[in-house]
Amino acid sequence: MVNKKKVDRNRQLIIALSLITIALVFGQVAVFIYFGGQGAKAAQISQTKNDLIRENKQLRTEILRRTSFSFISEQAQKAGFEQASSIVYLEGQLPMAFKNK
Amino acid sequence: MPLSRTRLVFILFFFSFLAIIARLGWWQIAQSEALLSQAKAQRWEEKIIPAKRGEIFFTDAYPLASSKPFYNLYAFKPEIKISYQELVEQLIKISPLEKKEIQEMLESDLLWVPIWKHLGEKNREEVLSLQIDGLELEEETGREYPEASQAAHLLGFLGKNEKGENQGYFGLEGYYDRQLRGSDGKVVQEKDALGRPIVLGGYYKSTVKNGINLRLFLDRQLQWIAEKCIAKGTKRYGAKKGLVIISNPQNGGILAMAVYPNFDPSDYSKTESELFFNPAISGTFEPGSIFKILIMAAALDSGAVTPQDICPTCSGPVKIGEYTIKTWNDQYYPKSTMTEIIQHSDNVGMVYVGRQLGLEKTLVYLERFGIGQKTGIDLQGETTGKFKEKKYWSSIDLATISFGQGIAVTPIQMVQIVNVIANQGKLIPPRVVQGIQETKQIIKPETAKQITEMMVNAVEQGEAKWTKIPGASIAGKTGTAQIPIQGHYDPEKTIASFVGFAPALKPQFTMLVILYEPTTSPWASETAAPLWFDIAKDIFLLKSINPK
């Protein structure tokens, strides 16, 4: 005596499992295809990152050059600046009015 | 017949399988390692991430030495698709190399030919723009010095060791090499047939550990002034070399250290190796009269003399055994006080002070001030002069040491001594990289005050008074030392020095100026002293210090 209901249920289960397996296989293939294409993008991002780092270093070098004393001193001389030769130190003296008291 | 045909087929299959098994065995057993590594190389990409060498900063966070990538250009002969002649023509357009030079390199037996070293960013772009197959650029980290050769002796340089790796030599680069170096990292990543990374593939990373950055006490403005003035001063006074050390007496920090002639650390290979030695820490000299302040401080501190004591033996030369000790100018000041002995830089007077102090106490104080020991400054190459054991000391040794001859010190030791006086009797070892130093009271604050007053008087009334800054409160002392050569002193050559601090009552800096073998005048009062005051003037101005 074969339980027909049970057979039908098992058959449905097998079909469902088969469909899930097929879906998973295709899904996996799709995911791998998608991420496989991302490798090029990752390489591109890495290249851009390296270029930006390099550019940043170049800019930093240029900033340092332009703020170095040797450069500033050269520019100051060109602009006509001279070192102060006589300096007066302001001291905390009392005003004359107080001294007279 | 059918049976033998079946057998034949069977035998054929048997040998075919045997051949296949043998071949598989060959690949999987005999060739396994070679094929495995070939497969790995095709599938995995290994990248070394070089550690960034730590940078060295002035106290204002401006870099004294920073890291910068450089490139080396190589030609990989098997991949060059144009003729060597054509390649040479292209390369001479962008490089400073000679045509013949490149040709010789390409004609060598090497497959991988180094062509051009140490390319900058601009050169790299020019090479890339040529788009020549077989030209490869290798990146390496080097040093960049935004302030050019400033503080070169203090800094040292970055060179290569026997393995071809970066290594610091001399100065800070040498002393802190291990900390500055860091350790390289590595990335291993799975890649596809086109060499692109597989996003969901294997990925392993060992973290790169960059070198530590150093923040110095070194002041960019003071270093600039010191470099400029010592170069000018050494030339002006016709000296063989000159040096300036400026220090903060409160924490022992080195604010500036300049030596002339110096060298370019970015081009060290073109420098004579003698120039790499930093005379501030690696060169000893007989200090002469600047050492009198140590002996006088010791005598005052131990109670052997007071500033008002009268010298009873200062009326003429003093005879010790077979030797006669005279003053520097053969002038004598009978009944000089201790203050006047320092003012006149009186050798005869100092012999009296030395005798009052005695050998026992002299040696105790020399040790307290760190004479005969390294200061421990954080620079590679420090040395020290040594003094004799007590049993070998004679009365003439005690006499000569009292005016700074017959003893060898390094300039940095002299700065340490003067810092004690400027810092109310507390000894703080000198230091270049910022950090906290332990202090030790080695003479009484009252003694430091007394010796300061003597030094102020020496500036106001001494032989260098013609060059002093009017109205400025400066404590200082000149020193003209003879140079020992083969058992006697050179009759003509001297080392002229001036050491002092300002403002005297609230010192902001201590400074030592030394001129080796000046030719315009042998005397410190006419060479080192005016240079000291010139630098001090600039410091007062730039640092807004009221010298009064």
Among A42, A54, A69, whose Cβ lies nearest the Cβ of B199?
A42
Q: 């065995």: which residue's tokens? A: B25
Residues of chain A with Cβ-Cβ distance to B198 below 8 Å are 35-36, 39
Dist. CA B118–CA B71, nearest whole Å = 5
Per-residue model confidence as pLDDT tens for chain B (548 residues): 556 888 899 999 999 999 999 999 999 999 999 998 888 888 888 888 888 899 999 999 999 999 888 888 999 888 888 988 898 998 988 888 888 888 888 888 888 888 888 888 888 889 989 889 889 888 888 888 999 889 999 999 999 888 888 899 999 999 999 999 999 999 898 888 777 788 778 888 999 999 999 999 999 999 999 999 999 999 999 999 999 999 999 999 999 999 999 999 988 888 888 889 999 999 999 999 999 999 999 999 999 999 999 999 999 999 998 889 988 888 999 989 999 999 999 999 999 999 999 999 999 999 999 999 999 999 999 999 887 888 888 999 999 999 999 999 999 999 999 999 999 999 999 999 998 888 999 999 999 999 999 999 999 999 888 888 888 999 999 999 989 887 788 888 999 999 999 999 999 999 999 999 999 999 999 999 999 999 999 999 888 888 87
In a 3-state reduction of DSSP, which class is residue A3? coil
**A101 occurs within a structural domain:** no
| Closest among B340, B339, B321 to B331, alpha carbons compared | B340
State the angle between helix axes of B292-301 and B347-368 in degrees (0 to 180), rounded to the nearest 10.
70
Residue A51 near residue A44, CB atoms below 8 Å:
no
CATH architecture, domain defined by B220-542: 3-Layer(aba) Sandwich (3.40)
**A98 occurs within a structural domain:** no
Which of A47, A63, A64, A90 best probes binding to B when mutated, by most B CB atoms within 10 angstroms?
A: A64
Tokens for B20? 């296949």
**A31 occurs within a structural domain:** yes
Entry field: residues in chain B: 548
Evaluate the omega torsion of the peptide bond into residue B503 and state whether it is cis, within 30 degrees of 0: yes
Indicate the burial class of B352 (C-beta count within 10 angstroms; 0-12, 13-18, 19 or more): buried
Residues of chain B with Cβ-Cβ distance to A39 below 8 Å are 191-192, 196-199
Q: Which residue spans within B27-103 are E strands per DSSP? A: 44-49, 56-57, 63-76
Instruction: Indicate the number of domains in chain A.
Output: 1
Q: What pLDDT is recorded for position B149?
A: 87
Sheet of B488-502, strand order: B254-260, B241-247, B509-516, B488-502, B475-485
* CA distance to A75, A101, B23, B234, B537, per residue, from A83 (Å): 14, 41, 87, 21, 11
Specify the domain boundaries for CATH 3.40.710.10 within chain B. Answer: 220-542
Specify the domain boundaries for CATH 3.90.1310.10 within chain B. Answer: 47-68+135-215
CATH fold for the domain made of B47-68+135-215: Penicillin-binding protein 2a (Domain 2) (3.90.1310)
Residues forming beta bridges with residue B113, ordered by sequence position: B75
- Residue B242 distance to chain A (closest CA, Å): 21
Which of B198, B220, B544 best probes binding to A when mutated, by most A CB atoms within 10 angstroms?
A: B198
Q: What pLDDT is recorded for position B212?
A: 95
Dist. CA B424–CA B72, nearest whole Å = 55
Q: What pLDDT is recorded for position A101?
A: 46
| Closest among B432, B433, B447, B311 to B369, alpha carbons compared | B447
- Residue B470 distance to chain A (closest CA, Å): 12
Residues of chain B with Cβ-Cβ distance to A72 below 8 Å are none
Residues of chain A with Cβ-Cβ distance to B194 below 8 Å are 40
Residues of chain B with Cβ-Cβ distance to A34 below 8 Å are none
* CA distance to A69, A77, B38, B379, per residue, from A72 (Å): 5, 9, 56, 29
Dist. CA B409–CA B386, nearest whole Å = 8
Q: What pLDDT is recorded for position B24?
A: 93
Q: Which helix (H) or strand (E) covers residue B144, if one does?
A: strand B135-144
| Closest among B331, B300, B303, B351 to B455, alpha carbons compared | B300
Report the half-sphere exposure of B140 (CA within 13 A, side-chain side). 16
Tokens for B430? 């000198």
Query: Which residue range forms the structural domain that includes residue A46?
Result: 4-81
pLDDT at residue A84 is higher than 90 = no
Among A39, A43, A64, whose Cβ lies nearest the Cβ of B63?
A64
Q: What pLDDT is recorded for position A31?
A: 87
Residues 6+ apart with CB under 8 A from B37: none
Angle B122-B126-B130 from CA coordinates, rounded to 5°: 165
Dist. CA B405–CA B387, nearest whole Å = 12
Higher pLDDT: A50 or B476? It is B476
Evaluate the omega torsion of the peptide bond into residue B261 and state whether it is cis, within 30 degrees of 0: yes
Q: 């008291």: which residue's tokens? A: A101
Report the half-sphere exposure of B381 (CA within 13 A, side-chain side). 22
Residue B138 near residue B117, CB atoms below 8 Å:
no
Dist. CA B72–CA B70, nearest whole Å = 7
**A35 occurs within a structural domain:** yes
Report the chain B residue with the minimal C-alpha distance to residue A58. Answer: B121
DSSP labels for B215-267? EBS--HHHHHHHHHHHHHHHHHTT-SEEEEEEE-TTT-BEEEEEEES---GGG
Q: Is A92 on the interface with B (CB under 8 A)?
A: no
**A94 occurs within a structural domain:** no
- Residue A72 distance to chain B (closest CA, Å): 11
Phi, psi of B283 (to 5 degrees): -115, 130
pLDDT at residue A93 is higher than 70 = no
Among B68, B220, B538, whose Cβ lies nearest the Cβ of A69?
B220
Dist. CA B322–CA B354, nearest whole Å = 18
